[in-house]
Structures are given as structure tokens and as C-alpha cells.
Structure 1
Amino acid sequence: MAAVTELSFLLFALINNIHAEERITIRYEGGSYTFNPPKEANFCLISRFVGEEKLLLWNTSALWSENSTVPEDLKQRLSVGSVNNISSYMIQNLTHSDSSQNQEECWTEGKVTSEKDISLTVCKTEDEDKVIPVRLGGTVDLPCEGAADNLDIQWLMIDSRYQEEIWTKVFEDSTPSVMDNIKGVKTISALHLSNFMPTTFQQYICLVMNQQQCVSSHPVQVRLQEELMYHSVEETAVLQCNVTDFGDDQPPVWKKWNLKRSSDTDPGQQYLGQNNSLVFSSLTLNHSGVFYCSKTLVTVRAYWLVVCPKFAPPAVELFSEGDDVTLRCRNWEEGMWYLWFMKSNKTGGRIFNTYNIRSDLRRMNIFSLNGSLVISNVSLEDTGEYWCAVLDSDLQCVSTTKILLKYREPFGIHFTLYTVRNSLLSGLLVILCVVVVAVIQRSRRGEQRSAETES
């Protein structure tokens, strides 16, 4: 035992000259945390920092001896396991008092071969994951739900270098952070992220703290938003993949995930792109699906390709500036999905999903109701082609509607037709009124004659 004590003091003397990498892990009250020393280690020392003082919790080579340093409360919750001849040490039934800075130091043949600084945070509650889609180069505010003015907020992001769930701080001392691959600014409780690139799509977590105690945690997953593309059968589709940031010469790998519920177990199909793009020269309805472009295991672009039957003859909808226009989607029924697309001269003929127009261009007040598209306060910028795609329960396109939204010229042919139509309607209304009055007068004369005859 004396040798073990001497070795412990030697370790504490050496540890000041060894840099250990801090690993942040989050657990929840009533849960557990496991220390997994390396297989080749002869023994490990587990220590805990209390302020500036470091206390030895236990030595794995003398865990249950009479002179063991394991605190009594911790000893009752400590269990030892083994998987593939590798020992592990689990602390069960975690409480707030287990939140601490810990250090794992392992020795092999008289030398320190492994050292970890582990920051263990035990939270009271865990919120459900919130998923937020972001476009490439886009900006997003990640909310910290449950935050209050009198509580501290801590933002962390997952560290993808480790297989286990290890977190790193986005901010130090509430200062703006510019990391290797992410720009973050904390505004009140939200995390403002800008210029998102493929390598920065991460999982974040917000910890709501009351002094040193974690009250609740709120995980947020930021994923690549699919770009919605519309095509008709027999057309050509080109899916672009920008991989200029990746230096190797390997072509990008495209993977398709079918949207049909009957294909949930289908692992999908893989394609090799040419010149960083995937080209379909003659589309069919079966080409519909979600395509991911990946390079060196990083998803670079994602597309949701919607392929629909060919258009029927288009309908024409006329408007004057300031009108409210309702565009109706044919063949839509309850239980089906629908998507609206727009192509206008303002966008150079490019097709936009109308919901993205609202969020990106911020010039149209668009909302959907019962399969219809309602555009309030229409302006000249809203002229163009509007397409409605009706999707079944498997998100496969079954029908499509094309509507031309055209401006009613005050003195053009449409205005003339409109004026003539109104004039005809007004004339017919006058004639109808005259006929009704004549019928009423004739009926009254007949009644008077009948009364005179009876008398």
C-alpha cells in the first residue's frame, strides 16, 4: 500500500507538467457515467478538482481495499464491469453533486500513457431535440427554450473527433467566438450562426444554469436544408455539387433516399457524378426523391427532386395592383400534400418554392389554405407562372396545375375585355330589372280586372 501511496504522490507531482485535453460530457439526474480506461493500462487514478484542490477519488488497482480513498457515498454507487477484457467503472444514480471537473490518469509500466480532463455536468431535465434546417452560407438563430433572464446560459457543440458524446464550448466567458469552422454570436439566449458551410453542420446544446447547477438542457440539431426542385417527366434535371473546398481528385458520391413508405428499409442508391453534377436526361416519376451529394463523408448539397406529370392547359388569372388573389390547386384532396412553385421574369426564369420566396426574398405575403395559395396585396413583381404539385401519402407527384398570373392593363386588351364584360353585365341587369317591373305591373292589372269582374 505504501508503494501505491508513493506512486500517487509521484503522479500528482508529474501532472502539473502534462497537458490534458478537457472533455465535456452531459448526463442527467438518476443516470450514470462510465470511465473507460485504455486496455493496456496497469492502473488508473481518478481525481476530482474542488476549487484549486485536487482530490484522489480512487485507484483502480486498489478499489475495494480497506484503505481505499473512494468516498463512502460514491462507493455505494460505483460498479465495475468488463467488456472484451477491458475494465470500466460506472457511477450510478447521478446527482447534482456529481457535477465536477474530473481527471483520469493511467499508467503503463511506470509511465503516464493516458490522461483525460473530464468535465461532468449533471442536468435535472432534458428537452427533446429541436431540428433546424439551414442552407449553405445561410444564417440562423438557435433558440434556447426555457431560458430566463435571471439564469445563465451556456452553449456547447458536439465534438466530432470522438465516438462518444463529447462537447466543446462555443463561448468562453460569454464573449463572441470565432472557431475554426463556425462563427457564433450569443444574443441574449439565442445562438446566432452565420455563413454556414458543409463542414459546420453540427449538434448544439444549450444549458440553462442556476449558479453552478444545470436546470435544463435544450439540444438543437442543425441539418442541411434540401433545395426543392420541380420538373416534369421527360425533362432534363441537373443537380450541382460544389466541392471546391475538398482537395482530393475523387468525384463526389450522390446518394438517393426514396420517399415511399414502402421503401423505408431501402438503403438507397449510389451514383457517381460527372464534373461535380448529377444529370438525368429524361426524367420519369420514379426519379422523385431526396439526393445527397457527399465528399470525404461530408454532405455538401441536398436536393428534393419533385417530378410530376406534364401540365394540362394553363389557367389565366388577372389582377390589379393591391388585389388579393386566390390560386386553386386542382385534384387536391384531404390527406394529400401540395407544393407551390413560381417562375417569374424577376427571377430570371428560375423556379422557386413559394415558401422560400416568402422567407428569402421577403416581398410576398403568401400563405396556403385548403390546398390553395393566397397572395395578399399583389404587385407587378408577382406576375409569372405558378405551379401546384399534388403529392400522395408517399410524397409522389400525382397531378400538377399551371396558372398564369397576369397584370390587368388599365387600357390594354384585358382591360377592354374587362370593361366590355362589365358593361354587358350592367346592361343585362337593367333589362332584368325592367322585365321584373313589367311582370309585377301586369300581375297587378290582372288582379284588378278579376276583382272588377266579381263585383
Structure 2
Amino acid sequence: MTWGIKLILLLAVLIRTILTDPDNWISEPLSVFFSVGEEVVLRCDSDLIESDRVVWYRRTPEGDNVFLDTKYPQVNLAQDLDGRINATATRSFLALSNLSLMDTGEYWCGVFYEGVCVSVTKTLLLVWDPFGINSTFYRVYSSLMACALLGMVCVLITVNLKTRRRDQASLKTRWTAAQTQRRSRVEEEREEVDEEEKEANDEERVKKQKGTLR
């Protein structure tokens, strides 16, 4: 079997494992940020043993391909990564140097044992944006905006409560004034009635006195 056919079959197995059997993932997908020209270290999260075969696969804007196979290290699988790859002796980590924007994408580490893919680790390699959603600036800005929004809400609630209390106090004052005015009017009417009754009684008494004198 030629090298090309072997690589195609291996790539097909790895892609099938990634797409159809996500339970093989040892951990959640990782996110690694980089700046142009920097070096990053990708991790293959697995309990590696001496007989394991590790295959690194990537999915970038340039396409999908296997760029490192520990079983066939002599085969140059990725021309653009020539001289930029440094695999550790334990094969758990892979260093990529002199990164560019074209290196952005998904990187998969597949661990094979006796021809079977036993684990897959996914890493997202992303360009670091100092003002992006994952930056410290964005997190601080979001926190400040959240605090400012919370402060505005508190101010609005306080103003609303004060306005309601002032309206309630004004309504209570008007109601008290109306009650006082009503009581005053009732008392005045009662005094007028008492005065009229007194005058009527006086007139009646005067009439009786005049009748007695006659």
C-alpha cells in the first residue's frame, strides 16, 4: 500500500472519529490565542503509552490535512510547517513557531492504539485581538458597562421611589386638608343650627312672657 493511500485512510478514520464519536474526547475543546510571529504549544490530552501512535490533523482556511504522524516521522506531511514544528519526547505536546494568520484554525490530536483511535483532543488556534471579545480590555470594558448599567437602574429605581413617596405624601396632605375643611364646615353648620335653635327658644320664651303679662 502506498504512502498516499495510507494517509488518506488514516485521515478518513480520524475525521470519522471526530465527527461521529465525540465521546472519545478526553477534555473539552481548548482555545489557544497567538500573535503573529509567536510560538504556541498544543497539548494532546491523553494517557500516552509507548506503543501509541499520535497523529496531528489541522483544519485551516488553506484546507484539511495531517501534518504530523509519529509512526512515520520521516514523511514530510506539511510543507508550510517545515522547520516550525517541535514535538516533545513524550509526544503529549507540539510546539508551533513563527505563526501567521494562515495558521488560524482547528487542530486535532488523535491517539491510536493497535490501529484504533482511542482519544481525540481539539484545540482552536485563534489570533489574539487586544480589543476583541476574549481580551482583557473587553472583559474590563464589559464589567464597567455592566456596573454603569446597574448604577443607572439603581438611580432610576431610587428616583421612582422618591417620586412615588412625594406623590403619596402630597396626596395624604391634600386628603388631610380636605378632611379638616370638611370638619370645619360641619362644625360651622352645627353652630349655625345651635344658634338658630337658641334664637327660636328665646323668641318662644319672650312670647310666653308677654302672654303672661296680659
Which structure features the higher share of strand residues?
1
Q: TM-score, normalised by structure 2?
A: 0.50
Which structure features the higher share of helix residues?
2
- Structure possessing the higher radius of gyration over alpha carbons: 2
